[in-house]
Chains A and B, each alone.
Chain A
């Protein structure tokens, strides 16, 4: 599918925004300003950004990230300052300090909805969002991310099965990034590929290179348009690699060093930018300018988040039920 030069440069902007934002979060983590854990998406920025870029948010499309798909919600419109505030547990973050990392967003308002920590649970929820869209006679598509580990859960299977039976407009990206925490994919499933699971649901399934930005975009775009036109669910397995531990506390000593070295050569961001230069889409100067712009934006977002107050303890008991009005204020 044809992306314009402007669109290709926009994808590069989101790739760099993701990577720079995470590097900033690491710095804040080391300064003990990030309150909870920090989960890196290093190595997975390409598929996160490219898949989310295939949605049409004006139509009401909704993306649901896992913790390593921070790039996908940036594409959908999440503000870096909001993400930093979430990590810093600030009062004026999207969840006002009640939940952490990228667990936030409203499907009807923001174009994205963060996951909850129980892996697989969002698959039925995203099916329900797609179902509501169909009942409301809208043409929206939902895009859900799940991992090699998450696709072992019962919720994943129930959600995929229900969505497939209902032929809902839903696309699911299953990331094989090598490890679920410390457990390698071979101990997660006996299936030859994660895409093989599609046979059980009777939906479309395909495996692609997750570090090839354009391949991920093209495949997702095809699946999204098929879903929008009543063709039902597609499960896209993306082969990629988690270049860091499960979280910053985890040195991933269980991952062979050769594997890390091998995948470092396949870095999606570097590969994409090389292609841009080779095809004459961008010069090195233009790419440097994008990085400069991204750095300025992250600097400003960091300043904003650092200035934000911590929550008022008096609010801890409020907002359990919608009618108490806490969220209107």
Chain B
């Protein structure tokens, strides 16, 4: 089978789920005739028609709200945010309406809200958001952030089949840079399960999304000096695989939590706190956290590169842990 890019994996997941289940539909801005700002839904309208691939006004509240209403009626909508940054315009609808249906009312609200996130593409402060932390403290959602084409396809299928609202965070830097051979057959990646991407014994890097490739670079570099790094790709941010995190820490005794979003109040703070609470006795050094600088993601390439985590910063943290 030809290699499948990360973005093609997302398109395939939507197409296969729409073919499998007539309740599944796509709703968003420019998703129909144009095929999506990134062409993620390219061709879907030809196959499924404008009734199931719905172009909307520029209205994130209406997109998420209408998707939620339809979901209560038994449909399984996929709501696209053209850039995940614009989810802030529909934030209220997602956290106050969609996310509360189960706990308050016992109602299933199976929507997927998905869209391109992340920096490294010089998109500037309004097209580079990593939104996971602003949803972590609002119970009721599930949050996934795949870093591989395999996980993107399998997690999106799992999200569409899930009976709860799922925030599906795509990393647009990976859209056309990552290509993998995917299985021919239908598969899902379960929500809530991490993937130990690389086994090691000296140091753990807990990470997700595009940062798994930065972790790879660091692991390769350290391997030259005989240091073996374990990389835990969380894949799901909520619920997250606490067991996988603690198991890895128990094995390596040194841990870096790495994410692309700003450091302060980032999702990594939660994982670091769990490690401190539940694996303190296993630690040979303090938990290290690495995130972006606490600033909006700046536009100009030298500024953006300086704001986002890079190899030098992770290497420095790793050396400090190994020398501790």
Please list the residues of chain A having a beta carbon within 8 angstroms of any beta carbon in chain B.
94-95, 98-99, 103-108, 113, 116-118, 121, 123-133, 135-136, 154-155, 158-159, 161-162, 165-166, 319-323, 326-327
Contacts and interface: CB of A to CB of B under 8 A. Distances in A.
B74 A108 contact: yes
B108 to A, nearest CB: 5
B154 to A, nearest CB: 18
Nearest to B110: A322
Contact of A121 (B25, B92, B164): B92
Contacts of A320: 102-103, 139-140
A125 B75 CA distance: 13
Given A158-B61, A322-B108, A323-B163, A113 B93 contact: no
Contacts of B64: 124
Interface string B68-102: 11111111010000000000000011001100101
Contacts of B51: 135
Interface residues of B, number: 40
B73 A98 contact: no
B70 A322 contact: no
Nearest to A99: B104
Contacts of B57: 158, 161-162, 165
8 contacts: A99-B105, A128-B69, A129-B73, A135-B52, A136-B74, A159-B65, A319-B106, A326-B106
A161 B68 contact: no
A121 B57 CA distance: 17
B122 to A, nearest CB: 30
A106 B92 contact: no
Given A162-B57, A322-B163, A118 B96 contact: yes
B66 A127 contact: yes
Nearest to A161: B57
B67 interface: yes
B31 to A, nearest CB: 14
B178 interface: no
B65 A133 contact: no
B226 to A, nearest CB: 44
B251 interface: no
Given A107-B73, A127-B66, A322-B108, 11 more contacts: A98-B105, A124-B68, A127-B65, A132-B71, A132-B72, A135-B51, A135-B70, A158-B60, A162-B59, A162-B62, A322-B106
Contacts of B56: 162, 165
Given A126-B69, A158-B57, A319-B106, A121 B62 contact: no
B70 A159 contact: no
B138 to A, nearest CB: 11
A61 to B, nearest CB: 12
A124 B74 contact: no
A153 to B, nearest CB: 9
Interface string B128-149: 0000000000011010000000
Contacts of A161: 57, 59, 62
A172 to B, nearest CB: 14
B69 A127 contact: yes
Interface string B24-59: 010000000000000000000000000110101101
A165 B163 CA distance: 29
Given A108-B72, A113-B72, A127 B93 contact: no
B201 interface: no
B107 interface: yes
Contacts of A319: 102-103, 106
B61 A124 contact: yes
A121 B66 contact: no
A321 B61 CA distance: 23
Contact of B70 (A103, A106, A113, A129): A129
A113 B104 CA distance: 13
A12 to B, nearest CB: 31
A125 B105 contact: no
B135 to A, nearest CB: 14
Contacts of A95: 104-106
Contacts of B70: 128-129, 131-132, 135
A125 B164 contact: no
Contacts of A129: 69-70, 72-73
A213 to B, nearest CB: 29
B50 to A, nearest CB: 11
Contacts of A116: 96-97, 100
B103 A136 contact: no
Contacts of A165: 56-57
Contact of B66 (A104, A113, A162): A162
Contacts of A326: 106
Nearest to B99: A320
Contacts of B25: 135
A277 B76 CA distance: 51
A132 B140 contact: no
Contacts of A162: 56-57, 59, 62, 66
A139 to B, nearest CB: 14
B68 A132 contact: no
A159 B61 contact: yes
